Amino acid sequence: MNWLTAFRSALQALAANTLRSALTMLGIIIGVAAVITMVAVGNGATQRVQEQMKGLGSNIMLVLPGGVSQAGVRLGAQTRQRLTEEDAQAIAIDIPQVQVVAPTSRTSGQLVFGNTNWGTSIIGVTNDYLEARDWPLASGRLFDAAELAGSAKVAWIGATVARELFGDLDPVDQIIRVRNIPMTVVGVLAPKGQNSMGQDQDDAIMIPLSTLRNRIWGGDATSRLKRVGAISVKVRDGEDMKLVEEGVKDLLRQRFKVPPGGEDPFNVRNLTEILQAQEESSRVMTLLLAAVAGISLVIGGIGIMNIMLVSVTERTREIGLRMAVGARGRDILAQFLIEAVTLSLIGGAIGVALGAGATWAVGEFAGWKVSLSLGAVLLAVGFSGVVGIFFGYYPARRASMLLPIQALRYE
């Protein structure tokens, strides 16, 4: 018996008991669909975290002001404004593993262009901020040294602000009003997307830090002391982030004269480490979900084995007749093994279609990010074929070991 004849015979045998074959494939169908859907959801979650890491920038940590207590009441993080531009310069100079340091401050306000206005975040930055965040300009130029030092009325705008204020018009060299202060748009930032908190990073305008201090805030006490709201620290590739983090903490403790055992007036957050932990959690969850879904495949394989044993029992006389006219044991083995594998593969194919539909539904109606990969499909179908071989071998072997005389006499 050649393989084509064995395959045709297997299809005929399965077609003779359509309902039983369909019920047997049900476990495989559900298992394959569940594996594909769960892996797609898990991959989508992992990709989402990777996008957040890309949007944040690589090897980055954030230094924030600490909390303050008043009359025994702790007011929480970032209520003690003690970080300054000098602190940022000290980190850049004293810690050689640091690639770039970018102090920033933030407020909000209304932007006006012609008859259009838009409320957004106003961020005071330096050119180093774009390098720290891996955030290029889509068009325009960087601030020059004179603009950074002289509180120039220039700005970069995010993609969302550009769309809302200018539509299809090129924003570069256009003049907008930022809190009624005219400023020239000298650059448009490349789209960045949402951050890990779901906030639109493109909905912002960036101006020189000195401009924010002297023109937006008006040179108040915070401005005169050159206070900043945060310091972004980008570490060179290959350097130990934890070592740099400890170095930053030690340096700032010295600058703030924190006594041993005293509370730090600042917080250092290793954002890359946090997102990497989230990515690892997503991968582990994907494996767990796939493993749970894989149990359905094993259960489906047990169903195939049971049905094949029933089939061998029902067709014992047929087996004896085949052997009597010259079929060998390996022919009988191949026939029943092909039937089992065919059941698994047909069930796997239906499961792929069902899984693809379920993945689409999850992404469309639940709003989750999903990623259906060819590798997951091949893995699920391949595993279903292995299940068919593994669980179909025993019934097929049992059929091939029957003696022709005993099989012909079987009632």
> What pLDDT, on a 0 to 100 scale, did the predictor assign at position 120?
94
Whether residue 163 has pLDDT greater than 90: yes
Whether residue 12 has pLDDT greater than 70: yes
Mean pLDDT, residues 255-267? 86
In the 8-state DSSP scheme, what is residue 135? -
**Tokens 């698994």 — which residue?**
344
User: What pLDDT band is residue 79 in, cutting at 50, 70 and 90?
Assistant: very low
Same domain, 160 and 215: yes
Residue, of 135 and 299, whose pLDDT is higher: 135
Phi, psi of 151 (to 5 degrees): 55, 45
Whether residue 69 has pLDDT greater than 50: no
Please say whether the beta carbons of 151 and 128 come within 8 A: no
Number of C-beta neighbours around residue 132 at 10 A: 28
Rounded to a whole number of angstroms, the distance between the first and last alpha carbons of the chain is 26
H helices within 63-127, ranges in order? 85-94
> What pLDDT, on a 0 to 100 scale, did the predictor assign at position 186?
96
Please say whether the beta carbons of 143 and 131 come within 8 A: no
Number of C-beta neighbours around residue 295 at 10 A: 12
Same domain, 47 and 168: no
Mean pLDDT, residues 6-15? 72
Residue, of 79 and 47, whose pLDDT is higher: 47
Domain-located, residue 128? yes
Residue, of 220 and 106, whose pLDDT is higher: 106
> What pLDDT, on a 0 to 100 scale, did the predictor assign at position 23?
79
> What pLDDT, on a 0 to 100 scale, did the predictor assign at position 73?
42
Same domain, 321 and 401: yes
Domain-located, residue 306? yes
Phi, psi of 114 (to 5 degrees): 60, -125
Domain-located, residue 62? no
Whether residue 100 has pLDDT greater than 60: yes
- Residue 231 to residue 226: CA distance in whole angstroms: 13
> What pLDDT, on a 0 to 100 scale, did the predictor assign at position 77?
46
Same domain, 87 and 228: yes
Mean pLDDT, residues 290-314? 76
> What pLDDT, on a 0 to 100 scale, did the predictor assign at position 183?
95
The number of domains in the chain is 2
The Cα-based distances of 381 to 31, 130, 166, 305, 348 in angstroms read: 10, 46, 51, 18, 5
Mean pLDDT, residues 150-174? 94
Residue, of 120 and 281, whose pLDDT is higher: 120
The Cα-based distances of 131 to 102, 136, 239, 249, 360 in angstroms read: 9, 8, 17, 22, 37
User: What pLDDT band is residue 277 in, cutting at 50, 70 and 90?
Assistant: low
Domain limit, last residue, from 244, 264, 284: 264
- Residue 184 to residue 144: CA distance in whole angstroms: 14
Lowest-confidence region among 4-18, 85-99, 188-202: 4-18
Q: Which residue range forms the structural domain that includes residue 387? A: 3-52+276-409
> What pLDDT, on a 0 to 100 scale, did the predictor assign at position 153?
95
- The pTM (predicted TM-score) of the whole model is 0.60
Same domain, 35 and 175: no
Same domain, 46 and 153: no
Mean pLDDT, residues 206-233? 83
Whether residue 71 has pLDDT greater than 50: no
Same domain, 179 and 326: no
Domain limit, last residue, from 211, 240, 264: 264
Same domain, 159 and 285: no
Same domain, 314 and 337: yes
Whether residue 304 has pLDDT greater than 60: yes
Same domain, 33 and 132: no
Mean pLDDT, residues 344-356? 87
Mean pLDDT, residues 192-215? 86
Mean pLDDT of the chain: 81
Lowest-confidence region among 6-20, 202-216, 245-259, 301-315: 6-20
Please say whether the beta carbons of 28 and 352 come within 8 A: no
**Tokens 């940022």 — which residue?**
88
